[in-house]
Amino acid sequence: MKLKSQPISYDLNPDLWGDRYASILYDWALLKTNDREVALDLVQDTFLAGLEQLATFANKSSEKTWLTAILNYKICHYYRSKKRNIILTVEDFDQLQKLPLNAVGAPGLILKKYQIDHDQLVAKEFRNHLLRFLNGLPELWRSIFEMKYISQCRTELICQKLQISHSNFWVICHRLRARLQQQLRLFLD
């Protein structure tokens, strides 16, 4: 005999959000943004949006899950708005094209994925830091970085030219991104 499960009823209690969830949401926002002030603002925005949307709570998740979903939306919005605020001038683009990084001969815009602040992107310090990072990589890794992220070559072409498997390529790309993120944090701190 099957028993029918009763739907769980979740009650929202905004008066306790700060005590219950502020620390958890802050830690999550800090992990995603790596900026204390931004993380605090995002948590406050989350609570405010939660208060404004109390009537839309569909009782399909817990209070914590619902607030975390709102926070995740706020984090995505933060990065989208940050991306829109970066404007490269023709001079900036020319500076980027002069970087001696491209071994395959096709210039490309560097690091658009990492959304580095405009002033830091064109700074001599950043260029030198990036060059030191690239020069410290194994030759195969540097070739993959240049072909994938600077020349924006297709994966199949890179694997064919460097005679590596797709799985090896993606493992190296993953490790490259992790190292690059670590270097960017060092540079920005």
Three-state secondary-structure class, residue 67: helix
Q: Is residue 94 located within the same domain as residue 184? A: yes
Give the pLDDT confidence score for residue 103 in this predicted structure.
Answer: 40
Domain that holds residue 21: 14-84
Q: Which of 91, 96, 97, 135 is nearest to 116 (CA)?
A: 96
Does residue 7 lie within any of the structural domains?
no
The torsion of the CA quartet 179, 182, 183, 184, rounded to 10 degrees, works out to: 120
Q: Is residue 25 located within the same domain as residue 110? A: no
Give the pLDDT confidence score for residue 98 in this predicted structure.
Answer: 55
Q: Which of 84, 106, 139 is the last residue of a domain?
A: 84
Does residue 24 lie within any of the structural domains?
yes
One pLDDT digit (tens) per residue for the chain, 189 residues: 555 555 555 677 888 888 989 999 999 898 888 889 999 999 999 999 988 888 888 778 888 888 988 998 888 888 777 655 444 455 555 555 555 444 443 344 444 444 444 454 445 677 777 788 888 888 888 888 888 877 788 899 889 988 999 999 999 989 988 888 888 777 676
Q: Is residue 59 located within the same domain as residue 99? A: no
- CATH label of the domain that carries residue 48: 1.10.1740
Q: Is residue 114 located within the same domain as residue 171? A: yes
Q: Is residue 177 located within the same domain as residue 96? A: yes
How far is residue 149's CA from residue 109's CA, in Å, rounded to a whole number?
Answer: 8
Domain count, the chain: 2
Tokens of 126: 């950043």
Which pTM does this prediction carry?
0.44
Q: Is residue 120 located within the same domain as residue 142? A: yes
Does residue 8 lie within any of the structural domains?
no
Q: Is residue 63 located within the same domain as residue 95? A: no
Q: Is residue 167 located within the same domain as residue 122? A: yes
The dihedral sign for the CA sequence 59, 63, 69, 73: positive
Q: Is residue 178 located within the same domain as residue 125? A: yes
Q: Is residue 77 located within the same domain as residue 96? A: no
How many helices (H) and strands (E) in the chain? 9, 0
Q: Is residue 31 located within the same domain as residue 105? A: no
